[in-house]
A and B are shown apart, each in its own frame.
Chain A
Amino acid sequence: MGLGSIEKLVSEFTISAWRAWAPGVSDATDWQRWRNGELDFAEQAIPDASFLPAMQRRRLSLLSKAAMATAHPLLNGRDMPVLCCSVHGEAKRTYALLQDVAAGEPLSPTAFGLSVHNAIVGQLSISLGVHAPALALAGGDYPLLSGLLEAAGMLAEGIAGTDELLLQFYEEPLPELYLHNTVSPARICATSLLLKAGAGSEGGYTARLKNGSPQAAESAFSQPEYQLPLIAALVDGAGNLPLGQGWTLELARNEDRGATNV
């Protein structure tokens, strides 16, 4: 740990709560059992978005339903900035549209509107009543780094006059044609983190973003399951994750001094 001394603490904030969804593994108990090796992912499952009216739900892909299902309990009707980070976004919709273009078919206006990178965050803000800024971020090689750095900046600036924000990561399996260039996520996975400015709150986790680590991180194009180490650290209550480019995330569960669960 002698190398730790060269790391510089850049930002500190609180993760008050989190939710994650993957097929067959979707609540806190499931994730604990997954972590213990007692529960594996299912082949397929449909994320529960029954909290939305059918007329809103009908346009959501499985990926956006997963994103929505993890965001909904954390927002709990409140308004705060939302930051959605994904490497590939709605790749399947885009691919289907491109196939229509290639075949000279007219394009579906619905699919066209919902294929852009900010489609999910747009639908989320409409469906869940978010009026604060809603941002879509391209994850690139290091999506955890992109998302967490942007979130830390927004918290530091107090965007929209609130000290909270919702940060999401989500990915889905890619069409076969893309597999020459990147490794496909094995399944849909979405993670939502409820972040609060500053550290030392009761409950939740203290998150520290540090720079200057010699630890390397794998690119999301070769290791697309980048959300799983984060989820594992959240389940464990502690972790030190390499984020890429010398950045690390240090997670430590805060002492819960008998405060009621939110």
Chain B
Amino acid sequence: MSNLVEELKVLIIDVLNLEDVTPADIQADEPLFGEGLGLDSIDALELGLALQKKYNISIDAENENTKTHFASVNNLAKFVAESQGA
């Protein structure tokens, strides 16, 4: 799981072009959107697309749980692990 957390941090930095941000700067339990890392709605779409491409998981924008899945890197890692295990 900790491997997946690190992998996701690198993915976030790469696909969202986070200049000046290193994986160590991202706290796995801090909010990704709004406060914390400060990502916006376009980032959410971009990240969703990247997860779809890399892990082959589909994300339902209408699903209320999606918000929870995207709340932090830890949540994302849990979501990816569960989706792949399923």
Contact = CB atoms under 8 A, between A and B. Distances in A.
Contact of B52 (A54, A57, A106, A110): A106
A43 to B, nearest CB: 22
Interface string A211-238: 0000000000000000000000000000
A58 B49 contact: no
A55 B53 CA distance: 24
Contact of B46 (A54, A55, A57, A110): A110
Nearest to A107: B49
Q: How big is chain A's contact interface, by range?
A: 10 to 19
A57 B19 CA distance: 8
A215 to B, nearest CB: 45
Contact of A58 (B17, B45, B52): B17
A113 interface: yes
Q: Say what secondary structure dominates the interface of chain A.
A: helix
B86 to A, nearest CB: 22
CB-based closest 8 A-B pairs: A109-B45, A58-B17, A54-B20, A54-B19, A58-B19, A110-B46, A109-B46, A110-B42
Interface of B: 16-21, 38, 42-43, 45-46, 49, 52-53
Given A57-B19, A109-B49, A110-B45, 19 more contacts: A54-B18, A54-B20, A54-B21, A55-B18, A55-B38, A58-B17, A58-B18, A58-B19, A59-B17, A106-B49, A106-B52, A108-B46, A108-B49, A109-B42, A109-B45, A109-B46, A110-B42, A110-B46, A113-B42
